[in-house]
Structure 1
Amino acid sequence: MTSLEITVGDITRQADMDAIVNAANRELKPGGGVAGAIHRAAGPELARACAPLAPIRPGEAVITAGFDLPNRYVIHCLGPVYQLDQPSDQLLADCYRNALELAVSRELASVAFPAISTGVFGYPMEEAARVALRTVRTVTEQRSSLQRVRLALFDPTAGEVHRRVLEELEAG
């Protein structure tokens, strides 16, 4: 059974995870937010590895090495821009599902996600948490190789929202 963890912390400092997920932009380039932090921590090799994989579409996921990160891999997902990329909820679920499927295909035991699409892409935190947590639970119930999935959230408020949503989902 896969354990689901929620923590507040820097996605680039999840040293006990096989892979971390990048809330990427279409071109997989360094930018602001999560993508910028991951590219800065991984070093310039990450941008070079990403270039031939771009562009990606909302909901799509690709994988690269982690380079200077403490993780073997980075899984890059393009989340939907809320209410612009439709259907937003399905595209966001696809991000999590496709990232998890890449992790399983590499026989990884652990993966950490940020709160995809909740920054400049404007997805409301609670709604995004529901999509993310439902999708992670559904996929991991069917996958045996993943031992741990973590949501590594940068903001304490995001952590509180995700914990509350998880409690509601577990309650039924």
Structure 2
Amino acid sequence: MKQVLTQEERLDFLIVYLLQEQIKYKFNSIPETVEEKRQLFRSLMNIRPPVPIGSEYLKVQNEYLKERLIEKGITEKASLKSIQPGLYLWKGDITTLAVDAIVNAANRQMLGCFVPCHPCIDNAIHTYAGVQLRLECDRIMSEQQSEEPIGRAKITKAYNLPCRYVLHTVGPVIYRDVSEKDCILLSSCYHACLDLAVAYNLKSVAFCCISTGEFHFPNKLAAEIAIQTVKEYQEKNPDTIEVIFNVFKDIDYEIYNSLLQ
């Protein structure tokens, strides 16, 4: 009978595999604590280029990530309470949310964040989905042969996430003052994601706060645009889709909550 690996044994296997993939990391030692091992594993996943990977790795990785999800806890949409008809506000980890689709605030390369353990949503989603997500994004971008335009959306599988799909959209980057064009492009991100969700017959979508992190869009203005765009879309397309505004920070929760009351 085949031995079932413990979570830590799976983690050790995955780290050794990723270290041995690249010569410059081959002789790195494995940390002693589980937390340090998790951080190293995430870092190695983050920097890994979208190249083919063995089936044994994928099997162990999928088992490990599924168990990690159970450890973190899954939030079912049925447990959420609507704040307005068809609208929800939830503060938590979007990678644990079981809905039809979650939205990823992507960059124009659409391959995920390559900065080890970076706190952005793009990094988290790619980490807990598994390496397959970067591989699928790479296939999409190879066919496109150009950077992803701002204000559009792409759909991929969710792999080891509890949602069914991931919608990827690139928001505007704010360098100085917010322009009218920036506002239109941000609204287009929400509209494009909703259009894509409806095209795939999805009934629930969780939006992160697009462009408000590393892209520096002011939080309150971004929330106003998000809520207005979603409400107008639902009015024009009644009973098609429910929307969850997902926030991670207290300040964003307070902003959305005040605007939705």
| TM-score in terms of structure 1 length | 0.91
Matches within 5 A, 1:132-151: 132-144=226-238, 146-151=240-245
Larger helix fraction of residues = 2
| Residue 137 of structure 2 is aligned to residue 40 of structure 1 | no
| Residue 159 of structure 2 is aligned to residue 67 of structure 1 | yes
Q: Deviations over 1:26-74 (max 9, x none)?
A: 1112214000000001000000111133321110100001111111100
Aligned-residue RMSD, C-alpha: 1.7
Distance change (3 Å), C-alpha of 1:147 and 1:94: closer
Counterpart secondary structure, 1:53: helix
The match for 2:92 is 9
The match for 1:170 is none
**How many residue pairs end up in the alignment?**
166
| Residue 202 of structure 2 is aligned to residue 108 of structure 1 | yes
**Preserved CA contact (<8 Å) 2:108 2:170:** yes
Distance in 2 (CA, whole Å) between partners of 1:98 and 1:21 is 11
> Higher Cα Rg: structure 1 or 2?
2
**Preserved CA contact (<8 Å) 1:96 1:136:** yes
**Preserved CA contact (<8 Å) 1:80 1:117:** yes
Higher mean displacement: 158-167 or 121-130: 158-167
The match for 2:169 is 77
Distance in 2 (CA, whole Å) between partners of 1:166 and 1:157 is 14
Shift of the alpha carbon at 1:83?
4.9
**Preserved CA contact (<8 Å) 2:198 2:241:** no
User: Aligned partner of 1:75: which letter?
Assistant: L
| TM-score in terms of structure 2 length | 0.61
Distance in 2 (CA, whole Å) between partners of 1:113 and 1:146 is 16
The match for 2:61 is none
Q: Where does the alignment leave 5 or more consecutive residues of structure 2 unmatched?
A: 1-83, 142-146
Q: Where does the alignment leave 5 or more consecutive residues of structure 1 unmatched?
A: 168-172
